[in-house]
Structure 1
Amino acid sequence: MNPLPLRPARVDDPAEVDRLYDICLRTGASGNDASDLYADPRLLGEVYLGAYLALEPRLAFVLDDGGDAVGYVVGARDTVAFDAACERDWWPPLRERYPLGSFPDGSPDEALVQQIHTPHRPEPGVVDEFPAHLHVDLLPAAQGGGNGRRLLGTLFDALRADGVPGVHLGVAHANVGAVGFYRHLGFTELSGDDGGMTLGLRL
């Protein structure tokens, strides 16, 4: 397929934000559609996407297919500072909207609610050398043709322009295709457990 155009995300356009939340959900099961897994269709995006659009809008880029986003990358240049901003500005209203126990114990939704109340924190040894992090999601129709590589390259150029020395991301072991893709780009494993691994790339 031909490469799709890239552009900055329209973070002030509610329709585009809704579209990106939908992409997040439709790729939220190790790259597969997670729509049937969650009772609340916006919850996954609230945890893994919304804060980046609100707090790091300059690092949000999309693949455009006829005016509609079909993939995106978002990032934070300084993970520690980003986490502090989330704690101050992003998580408090979500904690009010989603108190613990909002969904049945053991459900995917409740696992996300627990993350809202107790967010994952990066390992100090990782953020010292790889302070930035990212999330990238492409709908199946946008995969291939170098679209993912170009999308990440756009983010990497923006991070380099800000003097960021390295970037990291998390990926599930089950997402075999993504693991291979990142390794091909030069990412190396920094840490891991039974569920997944943290990969890093020096910029």
Structure 2
Amino acid sequence: MPVVRPYRPADRSALVDICVRTGDAGEDARALYPDPELLANIFALPYVEYEPQLAFVVDDGGQAVGYVLGTSDTPAYVTWLRREWLPTLARRYPLPAGRPATRAEEMIALLHQPERILVPEVAAYPAHLHIDLLPAYQGAGNGRALMTTFLAALARGGVSAVHLGMASTNTRAGAFYARMGFHEIPVPAERGTTYFGRSTDPP
């Protein structure tokens, strides 16, 4: 049976794979991004570098097949992204000249704008997270186990609330977050993205 355990450095390649295979509103995004590490370099790998104690995976007995990761302090994380993470990737992913022409260029533009994560409407929810699970392991309680583990880790660290953002078209994920006790937070300026938040009290 799959089990939830802390992230290990040996899980890096699995995180990259999971991130891109769920990177199109929960669907496989490998055809959209020629560099399979692009999405992970934005939405997964910096978190395990910055705050590995808040990274957990579902292990099917051979490798990681899902993960939850995030940060306890979004403003501090954004400062670290700007000062430490982005400089290591700027040459590999130069900022596109002009308006992005492809999905990959859109993501690269996001990489160069870490301050986009600072959304005033969610400031009362200082932590944020990303959770992804390969389709074959969804609907079996693995997502709930990941989320419960992550919330408990935040609570032990004295963090009172957490938020997340997702593509508004991903209605299946939205239903999952509602079942986990998250509520929608209106952010009028963010078209195409829906934000959810909740306390870190047990679900």
Q: Normalization by structure 2: what TM-score?
A: 0.92
State whether structure 2 residue 6 is matched by structure 1 residue 8. yes
Q: Distance in 2 between matches of 1:134 and 1:158?
A: 12
Aligned to 2:176, the other structure's residue is in SS state helix
Instruction: Tell me which amino acid in the other structure corresponds to 1:137.
Output: D
CA distance in 2, matches of 1:136, 1:200: 14
Q: 2:176 aligns with which of 153, 176, 181?
A: 181
Deviations along 1:60-81, one digit per CA (max 9) or x if unpaired, are: 1000012200000001000011
- Cα RMSD (Å) of the superposition? 1.7
| Equivalent residue pairs, number | 197
What corresponds to 1:25 in structure 2?
20
Amino acid at match of 1:67: G
**How far did 1:194 drift?**
3.1
TM-score (norm 1): 0.92
Equivalent residue, structure 2, for 1:121: 117
Q: Distance in 2 between matches of 1:46 and 1:59?
A: 17
Q: Which amino acid aligns with 2:6?
A: P
Deviation at 1:156, TM superposition (A): 0.3
Residue 96 (structure 1) shift? 2.2
Counterpart residue number, 2:194: 197
Structure-1 residue corresponding to 2:77: 82
Range 191-200 or range 38-47, more displaced: 191-200
Distance 1:134 1:147 in 2: 16
Residues 24-75 of structure 1 show CA distances to partners (whole Å, capped at 9, x for unaligned) of: 0000011110011111111011011110010010001000012200000001
Deviation (angstroms), 1:106: 1.7
Q: How does 1:117-196 map to 2 (within 5 A)?
A: 117-119=112-114, 120-127=116-123, 129-192=124-187, 193-196=190-193
